[in-house]
Amino acid sequence: MSYDIEKSNAEWRAELSPEEYRVLRGAEDEAAFTGEYTDAKEKGVYSCRACGADLFTSEEKFDSRCGWPAFYDPKDLDSVEVQQSESPYPVVRCARCGSYLGELFEGEGFATPTDKRYCINSLSLRLKPGDSE
C-alpha cells in the first residue's frame, strides 16, 4: 500500500515515543480505560499523532463505554482507511501515513447517525482544541 507520507521504521522510531510506535506502527492497542482521550469532552479536531492529518472531530465523538475514544464517523470520508484483517473486525488506519488507529465496529445499536463505532487508541491521536471544523 502506498501513502502520501512514507518513512522507514528507524525514522518512525526516532519521531515517536516507544508507546506511540507500538500502537501506531506496531498495530497494538493500548489497554482499555487508560488513554487520555477516552472520556475527553473538549471541542476540537483529533489528528493523527504520527503525521498530523485531521481524522475525527469532537462532534462525531460519543461515549460508548468501551474504554477507548469512539467516533461514529471520520471528519472526512477519505481521512481514514478501513482494511479487512485477520481479526473479526476491520482495522482503521490513517489514510495519509498508514498508521494504525484502531478498529471499526458496526451494528451495535448505538443511537448515532451511522451505527458505526470507530474505536480509536488515544495514543494514535492528538487533540487540537478549538473549533471542530
Residues taking part in catalysis: 119
Which helix (H) or strand (E) segment is 92 a member of?
strand 91-94
Measure the CA–CA gap between 102 and 118, rounded to whole angstroms.
Answer: 7
Buried residues in 24-40 as b, exposed as e (16+ CB within 10 A): bbeeebbeeeebebbeb
